[in-house]
Structure 1
Amino acid sequence: MMEFVHVAVAVLGLLSFGHSAPVTSCENLIQPCEIHGNQLVGKWTQIAASTGIPGFKMLMKMLVVSAWMNTTAATEANTFNNLYIQKMMDKCFALKTNMTLVNNTLTVELPFQASAVLLNTGCPDCLVIFSNNTVGRTTSKLNLLSRRTKVSAAELEEFTKQAECLNLQPPAIMDSEKGFCPDPALSPGTKTIDLTLSSITPDDLNPFEKLFTESGMKTILDMVQTSVDLFKED
């Protein structure tokens, strides 16, 4: 189960960036836009996420409460350091990754390979990314981040339409009302599980491929539901 948590946090933690003029049609909604490095820097709240995996929305709702990310410029040109903090199963998880920007494409090498582009959005302080992530197999993911902890209904509707245009599942929406994990650097007393890159090995990733199927996702949901039921009985 811990291997699943490690990879799940990594997968759920992949980043999102981009904004432009208001858009309405699928042609505009899935149009990649130019990436300026300085627009990536700062603290972002994860608002929503969507994939093509059946059961992803339910799994997120059952396990993930909230998440935020801080991106800083690295010493190398067009390279960024990302700190992703997620509140999951009443615990705080931290993941650090490096991201490179080349020809308007963002790439991550560890703990899994991923490439991503920014998509148009009418939300003025939002970042949207469409990525292809390789964890056992290649899957697509769409993320919405914002400087705010909440976005408007219209902005969520636009993101939902983007997911639909990309043939992805309806997005999972984070619940900011339940609070966020603090920054470990500012709150050293807070227990945070640090998912270092070295902790995720190829042996962890190989069996995880089986989870990217409808039957695999159902198995996870059944396991979680059983644990919840046992907890209630206690």
Structure 2
Amino acid sequence: MSALCVLALLCSMTLTRSAPLTCEQMLRPLDQVDLHGLEGRRALVAASLSHPPFMERLRQRETASVHFSSNTSDTSISFRRSTRFDNVCYYGSYNISLQGSSFVFDNITTTFTHTTCHDCVLLSFDVESGKRQHFYLFSRRRQLDHEEIEEFKAQVKCLNMPPPVVMDPAKELCPEETAEKAEGQKD
């Protein structure tokens, strides 16, 4: 009889572990941002916006990428981004200071959000003090596994945002920004 109780307990524990995550669990900010693991370039793999009229502009984006690099402190980093529209590249470069799992640039609060994708950075952008939200999944790989994309789609659904735009991994990323481009052109 006690063996039967132990078996029932083990089975219920297995079922509990395989239960789907709640939206609160899926959308939690990172506890700690690993600056050294964050460094480098990542391509935009998928994204969604809470403002449907801007979704068409997102669909027209050919490629996008972000590049993080460390400065001298534990919280100060460089954040560069590039976007390609109509085969023209646009760049933006910012020195940012991490505040927990967030940073602010151009009055946009950006939060690093948890993802199970091992080489991804999931960023939630709070635009215009909560009027709009942008949700972007970046990775060192241009194409993710099915499960990783499905997790992102579930996260987007939790936010009540339109289904995400998945980028074409065959399209060329913008070249790395040079000092001349950085001075002459901001996104």
Fold shared, TM-score > 0.5 on shorter chain: yes
Higher helix share: 1
Contact 2:93–2:182 (Cα < 8 Å) also in 1: no
The one-letter code of the counterpart of 1:94 is Y
Normalised by the length of structure 1, the TM-score is: 0.63
**Residue of structure 2 aligned with 1:73, choices 67, 70, 83:** 70
Matched, 1:126 2:116: no
SS at match of 1:176: coil
Aligned AA (1:97): Y
Give the letter for the 2:46 counterpart.
Answer: A
Runs in 1 of length 4+ with deviation above 4 angstroms?
Answer: 191-194
- Give a deviation string over 1:96-125, Cα, whole Å, max 9, x none: 1222101332222xxx21112222212111
Distance 1:44 1:154, change over 3 A: same
Displacement, 1:193?
9.9
Distance in 2, Cα, partners of 1:80 & 1:143: 19
Kindly indicate whether the alpha-carbon contact (under 8 Å) linking 2:116 and 2:148 is maintained by their aligned counterparts in 1.
yes
1:178 aligns with 2:156: no
CA–CA distance in 2 between the matches of 1:70 and 1:152?
22
What's the offset of the Cα at 1:138? 3.5
What is the aligned partner in structure 1 of residue 35 from structure 2?
37
**Deviation of 1:51 (Å):** 1.4
RMSD across aligned positions (CA): 2.5
Aligned twin of 1:64: 61
Aligned residue pairs: how many?
A: 167
Farther-moved stretch of structure 1 (149-158 vs 23-32): 23-32
> What's 1:216 paired with?
none
Aligned to 1:116: 110
Q: Cα deviations across residues 16-44 of structure 1 (Å, max 9, x unaligned)?
A: xxxxxxx7432311122212222321111
For residue 126 of structure 1, what is the amino acid of its counterpart? C
Q: Is the 8 A contact 2:35 2:74 kept in 1?
A: no
Asked if 1:146 corresponds to 2:139, the answer is: yes
TM-score (normalised: structure 2): 0.78
- Residue 196 of structure 1 deviates from its aligned partner by 2.9
Give the counterpart of 1:25 among 18, 22, 41.
22
Unaligned runs of 5+ in 2: 1-19
Query: CA offsets, 1:189-211, max 9 Å, x none?
Result: xx8995337xxxxxxxxxxxxxx
Larger Rg: 2
- Shift of the 130–192 alpha-carbon distance from structure 1 to 2, 3 Å rule, reads closer
- Whichever residue aligns with residue 55 of structure 2, its letter is K
3-state DSSP of counterpart to 1:178: coil
